[in-house]
Structure 1
Amino acid sequence: MPQGWQAWGARPGTEIEMTSDNHTHNRELQRDARAWAAFTGTTYNAALRQMSSPVAQGFLGERVSARQLIAVLDDHELIGAHDGDPILGEGGYLSELPWSFNGKTDFIELALITDMLRMLMPASDATAPEVSSYSLKHTAEWFLRPHCSYVSNGRLIWAAAAVGLRVAAPDDAGLNLLIGVSERGHDYVRRMVGPGQTRPHADHYRPDGYAHLQTELAKAAAGDPTTARWVQSTLVDEAAPFHDWLILQVGRDDVVGDLAGDYAAGIRVSHHRIARTPDELLAIFHEIPHSPEAYDSVVSAIAEWMTTVPSAVPVRTEQTGGDAHGHEGWGAGAGTVARYEYLCPCGDGRIIEEHDNVPGFREHDVQIDCDRCRAEWRFVDGRGVRDWGLEPVAGSTTA
């Protein structure tokens, strides 16, 4: 059974219909088909089939134009021939290897490469090109399979220039150029799809269009219809004051500075997520291997944070269990008994919250069931049992 984009060609009615409702769009397809046929030496009908393919219409943006792709090879500041000898070839920058077109999938594959590169668009147009085209070409192959089994270095550079990414030649350029994609986003995608890669443990560098493009490519590979075009998410600058403060401590010559440096490094390589609050930093340490000394540094950092920011919210740990049930009472009527358990800050014990709502025995209590945490943490004064919060004990957390 045909796979990938070929499955579309085997199903009647999946190509874009030539009706008056999309006359302008069809006219653009026809112009592109004529240009691509002349450029690649294929037939007009073969080129039009590629222009009309559902997977060449742009999953993450407008359909890439064949005429635009062709123009880039002549007009682009760095890789354009400017009516002279070709600058870009199949092998890359200044490659003498001529382009090879099969007349069936060449344009479709370029369109898919542009979609993958759109996924990696940087947040700012001023992002300096730092990712090698050779590294990107392999990422494209892994991400776009089974639609593209091979992506040449030259086609990757070609698509990057066509989609408007910054392209630069390093001092020792050779065949490879530097492409201005999001370096962190590329690293995330490469580690997610590349063979033998260590998968990220957090998603803060996942490109916005990653899930949508993967989903649509999977549908196309199965021969299923694709959905509506992707709508880019609105970026929301979520407040993370504790994270911001901790990052500022990097470089200090003490235990908090060491912790901040390790934390920042973990963020860079997606080893763990961002800790927006002290609670989240403790949760991260419950999830990853760490030394007792590292945990002591966490307590010291939280103590300093809460001293520096008096309005800081007290720490609440993760709930691990709970139960509430009816009780027949002790002669004065029935009631309920509830017990909830939470991790203690160090993770080796529990915080136990209990509520006896039985007539004559109405009691509410919360306690730390961990010798170490009882010595290092205390409940914040003035809060109810159900609203308990913790803070480090003054003096025991100073480094």
Structure 2
Amino acid sequence: MTPSNNTPSRALQQDARAWSRFTGTNYTSALRQMSSPLAQGFLGPRVSARRLIVTLNDHELVGAQGGDPFLGENGVRSDSPWRFDGKTDYIQLALITDMLRMFRPTAGSEAPEVGSYSLKHTAEWFLSPHCSYVSNGRLIWAAAALGFPIADPDGDGPNVLIGVSEREHDYVRRMVGSGYAQPQADHYRPAAYDHLRAALARAGAGELITEDWIRPEPVNDPAPFHDWLVQQVGRNDVVGDLTGDYSAGVRDSDHRIARSAAELLAIFHEVSHSPEAYDAVVISIAEWMRTNPSSAAPIRTEPIGGDTHDHGGWGAGSGTTERYEYLCPCGSGAIVEEHDNIPGFREHDVWIACEKCRAEWRFAEGKGVRDWALEPEALHATV
């Protein structure tokens, strides 16, 4: 990052001289670009202008290797020359670099899958209004300078594939692009997404950001129920159909991951579904509990209302009455929990106020009225 005093660092001066020669602009204009708050590097060190220049010659795929240019403004195998305005070209490349840094790079064994032309549009939408146009060539250039995996799938045309997480890119594209359905879950949101959006706004207002962003360590929370659901995809029955739809919804960020059977029920209350799909949910939960008894837990549903009232009592002193309602598993009725805390009339009860759910669910044994939980009746059926 740029030092906070008024004296450019030696590296900054060297970069400015190299960029000035490369683009045919004067040294002062080049230095001004590199000193811009928007070019300081939000997710890592400021991208080196000298590194950018060397990439155009030395990169194993898109570098000229001492011959004619292989990468131009429109992409690879393009005879379109670079168009440098001397005012924003380096800033633009620095912004594209940070946008790409936001994504998780693909591992060495993973083939790049995200097209450069698609990424260049995502960059335009994400970086607006600080960068209104991103050329295909500059997107590829920044990715190559960062060392991201790049593949040339057909050896023809201007586009390449860039090795960034396809799911993270799809999430960001849907968040910032026009005409896309917004994600309904955030499990594919890049770790730096919120930080970079906020940093761009601050830098756009002229603020020099001095704090470094530290990528958080990945959290690998066990999700045995989700893992079991995914393993059922491809089965030739209603469970296979259900888990196929569930997995597609997770993949497309249409809903969150179900870490428990209760979360799967909650998801089905949030998305449109057929009665047959709900029946498949109940069958799946019963099978999960039957085959994984050590990991499965009975289900508590979501609270939907409740109140507590003072009561004068019936001669033995005053007390309170409580009534709480929870959504029943199918979503059409309720689980009702009541407590009479009145001296001489202490009663506590819980019941299923839904005909369909009374036939399909029972209260788990060993639970009190206040800590009730449900199990499918199918769990106890003779197999």
Name the TM tier (shorter chain).
over 0.9
Name the residue aligned to 2:364.
380
Amino acid at match of 1:291: S
1:15 deviates by: 8.4
- How many matched pairs? 381
Could you say what the CA RMSD is over the residues aligned between the two structures, in angstroms?
Answer: 1.8
Distance 1:204 1:119, change over 3 A: same
The aligned runs of 1:37-186 (5 Å cut-off) are 37-122=20-105, 124-186=107-169
TM-score of the pair, normalised by structure 2: 0.96
Correspondence for 1:245 among 228, 231, 248? 228
State the 1:127 CA deviation.
Answer: 2.9
Tell me, in whole angstroms, the C-alpha distance in 2 between the residues paired with 1:209 and 1:143: 13
State the secondary structure of the residue aligned to 1:333.
coil
Cα 1:236–1:389 change in 2 (3 A) is same
Query: Partners of 2:203 and 2:290 in 1: how far apart?
Result: 55
Which of 240, 252, 274 is the equivalent residue of 1:291? 274
Query: What amino acid sits opposite 1:137 in the alignment?
Result: K
Structure 2 CA distance for aligned equivalents of residues 398 and 206 of structure 1? 44
**Partners in 1 of 2:283 and 2:43 — Cα distance?**
46
Instruction: Note if 1:337 corresponds to 2:321.
Output: yes
Contact 1:326/1:334 (8 A) holds in 2: yes
**What is aligned with 1:199?**
182
Distance 1:398 1:34 in 2: 80
> 1:380–1:390: 8 Å Cα contact kept in structure 2?
yes
Q: CA deviation at 1:221?
A: 3.2
In structure 2, relative to structure 1, the CA distance for the partners of 1:224 and 1:326 (3 Å cut) is farther
Structure 2 gaps of 5+ residues are none
User: Does the CA contact (< 8 Å) of 1:16 and 1:54 recur in 2?
Assistant: no
What secondary structure, in the 3-state scheme, does the structure 1 residue paired with 2:86 have?
A: coil
- Give, in whole Å, the separation in 2 of the partners of 1:282 and 1:243: 13
Alpha-carbon contact 1:341-1:352 (below 8 Å) kept: yes
Give me the TM-score of the superposition, normalised by structure 1: 0.92
User: Match for 2:341: what amino acid?
Assistant: N
Q: Take 1:124 and 1:238, find their aligned partners in 2: how far apart are those partners?
A: 21
Query: Given the superposition, is the C-alpha separation of residues 254 and 397 from structure 1 closer, same or farther in structure 2, using an over 3 Å criterion?
Result: farther
Contact 2:106/2:164 (CA < 8 Å) preserved in 1?
A: no
Opposite residue 347 of structure 1, the aligned amino acid is: G
Aligned-pair CA distance for 1:62? 1.4
Identity %: 68
1:361 is paired with a residue of what secondary structure? coil
Which one of 167, 188, 211 corresponds to residue 194 of structure 2? 211
Decide whether the 8 Å contact of 2:286 with 2:379 is kept in 1: no
The amino acid of 1:40's aligned partner reads: T
Query: Is contact 1:216-1:227 (8 Å) kept?
Result: no
Shift, 1:40, TM fit: 0.5
Give CA-to-partner distance per residue, 1:8-67, whole Å, 9 cap, x none: xxxxxx984235xxxxx7111111001100110111111111111122111111111000
